[in-house]
């Protein structure tokens, strides 16, 4: 079973920040949180990952709570092309990803 | 960034045919590759994990004789769906990770849509 839970769907206005939450209450001390997104009929695209410090790259920011039981992916200025299913993943075992249901983000014009 | 190429992107064939899907890491050596399948409106389901030069490890409920996986080199893994039937129609996706730090992310191919008539 996936070690993460996410809301099924979210809407966001174009140009606004999209904040996508993820709960991972059973995460272990050395496990990273990974975020991917999947646009229809394509493979998942890597976005960002982190352990306990907040992370930022050209695509997004990742905010991880101090107790590491939840995190939020932030797309600072959502565009229509950001419409996708977003997956938050905590590895199971050595390297395995078990995907949860993800959040279907719809960016509205 | 790391690129994973998957071929073919789409295949349509008759029931009973065996179909081979290739997954290549183009700019890094993939010590571990993973195969997933995805049904419409569902999430990705891990089928198997393969390490270069060794036998694949299959997830519970995945038939190893049905889905043959070969990972003969550090840049290529293949998935063969043997004697495919309509219920095997699905979106098959591979991913790969390199030999760097343990926390490095996997990188995914663009998937193969398999349709069995």
Contact residues on chain B for A96, CB-CB shorter than 8 A: 34, 46, 49
pLDDT band with cut points at 50, 70 and 90 for residue A91: confident
Give the pLDDT mean for B82-87. 96
Cβ of residue B106 closer than 8 Å to a chain A Cβ: yes
Give the pLDDT mean for A82-107. 91
Lowest mean pLDDT among A64-78, A94-108, B3-17: A94-108
Return the pLDDT at A30.
Answer: 84
Please give the Cα distance from A105 to A83 (Å, whole number): 5
Give the pLDDT mean for B85-92. 96
Element (H, E) at A98: none
**Tens-digit pLDDT profile for residues B39-69:** 999 999 999 999 888 889 999 999 999 999 9
Contact of A71 with A33, CB cutoff 8 Å: yes
* Beta strand A45-50 pairing with B45-51: unpaired
Return the pLDDT at B72.
Answer: 82
CA–CA distances in Å: residue A57 to residues A45, A46, A47, A74:
14, 11, 8, 11
**Tens-digit pLDDT profile for residues B1-49:** 679 999 999 999 999 999 999 999 998 898 899 999 999 999 999 999 9
Beta carbons of A95 and B43 less than 8 Å apart: no
Return the pLDDT at B1.
Answer: 67
Beta carbons of A41 and B109 less than 8 Å apart: no
Chain mean pLDDT for chain B: 93
**Tens-digit pLDDT profile for residues A29-65:** 888 999 999 998 899 999 999 999 899 999 999 999 9
Return the pLDDT at A59.
Answer: 95
């Amino acid at each position: 079973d996936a070690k993460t839970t996410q809301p099924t769907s979210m809407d966001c206005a174009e140009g606004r920040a999209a904040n996508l939450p993820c709960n991972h209450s059973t995460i272990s001390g050395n496990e990273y949180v990974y975020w991917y997104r999947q646009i229809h009929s394509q493979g998942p695209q890597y976005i960002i990952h982190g352990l306990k410090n907040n992370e930022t790259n050209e695509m997004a920011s990742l905010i991880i709570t101090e107790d590491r039981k939840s995190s939020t992916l932030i797309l600072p200025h959502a565009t229509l092309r950001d419409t996708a299913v977003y997956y938050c993943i905590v590895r199971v075992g050595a390297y395995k990803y078990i995907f949860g249901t993800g959040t279907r983000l719809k960016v509205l014009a | 960034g790391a690129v994973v190429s998957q071929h073919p992107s789409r295949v349509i064939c008759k029931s009973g045919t065996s179909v081979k899907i290739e997954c290549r890491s183009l700019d890094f050596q993939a010590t571990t590759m993973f195969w997933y399948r995805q049904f419409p409106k569902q999430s990705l389901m891990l089928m198997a994990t393969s390490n270069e030069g060794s036998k694949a490890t299959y997830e519970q409920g995945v038939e190893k004789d049905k889905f043959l996986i070969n990972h003969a080199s550090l840049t290529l893994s293949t998935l063969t769906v043997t004697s495919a039937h309509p219920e095997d129609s699905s979106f098959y996706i591979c991913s790969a990770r390199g030999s760097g730090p343990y926390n490095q992310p996997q990188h995914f191919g663009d998937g193969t849509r398999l349709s069995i008539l």
